[in-house]
Amino acid sequence: MIECKNIRKTYVNGDVETQAVSDVSFHIDKGEFVAIIGPSGSGKSTLMHILGALDTPTSGTYFLDGQEVSTLDDDELSDLRRNKIGFVFQSFNLLPRTTVLRNVMLPLLYSDTTEKEREEKARKSLEYAGMEEGKFLNLSNQLSGGQMQRVAIARSLINDPAIILADEPTGNLDTKTSAVVMETFRELNRKGHTIILITHEMEVAQFADRVITIRDGVIEKDVKNTH
């Protein structure tokens, strides 16, 4: 499903060149649950942006479902992101003073759907992500961290994406809440979604079936977890 070959990403700022990702190759099958772990600055987010078609590599090739992503134009890229990928971020990125339901409906705002259809999909998505119905009309800033993250997960699921990319989804959560959110990801994985999750904590990575360790922009280890 995902095939990276010799991916490199170099950032140039004036005279300073940063090799954020150097010569990374791997593949991820449909239905896998993979954690990418590594210290700060090791290139995790850079790689995630490439996998999510939010950024392009400086060199190397990236195939998603057999399609070479670098050959797509902007419209094709945004279609691909909308149809295949759900993003979850560390900081949740929810609109404050906006209800849970509206936050989840947001990605569908410019799609060809009625308000009623959008609300229906958002409700399903929230249930799917394990959010209690009694909170659907709460404002998003009236929730606990774990609940906010479940709303962000529900929003990422609104288009039923095959792949969920999560960048430090438990970074702002305490240990207990992290475990609850990670169980939500495990459940989504059981339902068939491919999950790629970035973390710098080994306890979080243990929830995945496979752990790729990245250091200084290169893959240091790629191992299967036994649960």
Ligand X SMILES: Nc1ncnc2c1ncn2[C@@H]1O[C@H](COP(=O)(O)OP(=O)(O)OP(=O)(O)O)[C@@H](O)[C@H]1O
Residues engaged in binding ligand X (CB under 6 A): 11, 13, 18, 20, 38, 40-46, 200
Minimum separation from the CB atom of position 203 to ligand X (A): 16
Task: Give the neighbor-by-neighbor strand order of the sheet with 210-215.
Answer: 85-89, 163-167, 194-199, 33-37, 210-215, 218-224
Nearer to Mg ion, 45 or 177 (CB): 45
Q: How far apart are CA 13 and CA 184, in angstroms?
A: 39
Q: Which does 208 bind (CB under 5 to 8 A by kind): Mg ion, ligand X, none?
A: none
Minimum separation from the CB atom of position 17 to ligand X (A): 9
Nearer to ligand X, 9 or 118 (CB): 9
Q: Which helix (H) or strand (E) holds 179?
A: helix 175-190
Under the criterion CB under 5 A, does residue 46 sit at the interface with Mg ion?
no
Single-letter amino acid, residue 61: T
Nearer to Mg ion, 126 or 196 (CB): 196
**Whole-Å CA distances, 76 to 39, 84, 85, 120, 157:** 33, 12, 13, 27, 20
Give the chain's length.
227
Nearer to Mg ion, 45 or 149 (CB): 45
Out of 42, 45, 147, 213, the residue judged to bind Mg ion by CB under 5 A: 45
Minimum separation from the CB atom of position 25 to ligand X (A): 17
Q: How far apart are CA 22 and CA 190, in angstroms?
A: 32
Q: Which does 42 bind (CB under 5 to 8 A by kind): ligand X, Mg ion, none?
A: ligand X
Minimum separation from the CB atom of position 214 to ligand X (A): 7
Q: Which does 46 bind (CB under 5 to 8 A by kind): Mg ion, ligand X, none?
A: ligand X
Cα dihedral across residues 149, 182, 89, 27: positive or negative? negative
Tokens of 70: 């670098």
Q: Which does 30 bind (CB under 5 to 8 A by kind): ligand X, Mg ion, none?
A: none
Minimum separation from the CB atom of position 101 to ligand X (A): 31
Q: How far apart are CA 120 and CA 173, in angstroms?
A: 29
Interface residues with Mg ion (CB under 5 A) are: 45
